Amino acid sequence: MTDARADQYACTESLLNITPDAAVVSNLGVASYVLASVSDPERARNFYQWGSMGVTTAVGLGLALSTDEPVTVLDGDGSLLMSLGVLSTVARYDPDNLTIVVWANDVYGTTGGQSLQASHTDFAGIAENSGLDAITVRETDAFADAYRGATESASVTVIVCHVDPVDPDARPTFDFPYIARRARDSLTTDT
Amino acid sequence: MTWSEDAAEALADAGVELVAYLPDSKMDVLIGEVVEDDRFETVLVSREEEAIGVLVGAWVGGNTGALLCQSSGLANTFNAIGSLSVPARVPFLGVVTRRGNLGEFNIAQVPTGYNMDKLLDDVGVRNTVVTDPENVRETITLAGETAFSTQSPYVVLLEQTVTGRKPEAADD
């Protein structure tokens, strides 16, 4: 197995280019900070999480069941590890507009980069055995191909993307009610 | 009508569209009615904090949601409620079978069940306790209306005097 790792910034830019209208639910910490680094600050459909570790994919499921727009979850390996049962729940309902990306950096990035100590764990294998399509990628180009395929699929696909740990300076707005309201208005107001 | 039929009508009256739930023996009859009722979309979760995420996502997508579970399961949701529903001002209506009080035989249900009203107060979630089945429909309807109009969660705790008590531990 190669130990190549994709660039989380380039992959995040890539997914925004492929699905410019997608609602993006981003995990607290690094996933949200990278999203804030590369996307327009006014992008209303970024639903940044400021807390609730382990609940990000569940938020994406509820959103996908409640809108016809594409929904992309940007979860983290540490957060998913504490809530693996959600994969079975997602497979039960399998909304055709949902794609789940798991940034696998092997660390708890927001709390100082402590190791997950979970290199023996195959997240794509867990997703498959929970009833979902899943793919593991380690390069930015491969991520873009996998993401394009996932968004065109009628089934939920989990993309486990191995990335180097990063420590962005960018932050989403701290106004949490505004983040939720802005996303809701964008998804529910006819344009 | 039975308490569970009253509760299902109240959920509809309050405008609830999506119901996230985890089974409970006392809640089973209400869950059955809601799952069979075309007015509701239902989501069975594997852990109650998942339900909080589902309900927040549903709200951002334009839906209004409710959580059906037992008080011990509600204790599983506290970080999600405290770090997402409350600070992001995303409402949901909780209808929760409350263990740990009158009629309780299982000491393991007492610490979070008996104290759930105080725990909810401490995390900033308004709540009320229903002890008389006659009050189920009005209470749940009003709870949903204030949750969605104030954009903040509200939880209705149903005592065993409403839902019926478990006769003995062997039936648990």
- Residue B70 placed within a domain: yes
d(CA A18, CA B72): 43
Contact B88 A53 (CB under 8 A): no
Q: Closest to B57 (Cβ–Cβ): which among A51, A62, A85?
A: A62
pLDDT one-digit tens code per residue, B29-51: 999 999 999 999 999 999 999 99
pLDDT one-digit tens code per residue, B157-172: 999 999 987 665 545 4
What's the structural domain count of chain B? 1
Which domains, ranges and CATH numbers included, belong to chain A?
8-188 (3.40.50.970)
Considering only alpha carbons, which residue of chain B is nearest residue A45?
A: B60
Strand, coil or helix: what is B158? strand
Range of the domain at B100: 3-157
Q: List Cβ neighbours of A137 (8 Å cut-off, separation of 6 or more).
A: A6, A143, A146, A159, A160, A161, A162
Residues of B with CB under 8 A from a CB of A: 18, 20, 41, 43-47, 49-63, 65, 79-80, 82-84, 87-90
Task: Indicate whether A191 pLDDT > 80.
Answer: no
Which chain B residues have a beta carbon less than 8 Å from that of A58? 45, 49-54, 57
Using the Cβ of A51 and the Cβ atoms of chain B, whether some distance falls under 8 Å is answered with yes
pLDDT of residue B165: 74
CA A70 to chain centre: 13
Is the ipTM higher than 0.95? The answer is yes
- Residue B166 placed within a domain: no
CATH number of the domain that residue B103 is part of: 3.40.50.970
- Residue B74 placed within a domain: yes
- Residue B9 placed within a domain: yes
pTM (global) more than 0.80:
yes
Residue closest to A166 by CA, chosen among A5, A2, A4, A1: A5
Which chain A residues have a beta carbon less than 8 Å from that of B45? 58, 86, 89
Q: List Cβ neighbours of B135 (8 Å cut-off, separation of 6 or more).
A: none
- Residue B112 placed within a domain: yes
Q: Closest to A52 (Cβ–Cβ): which among B44, B45, B83?
A: B83
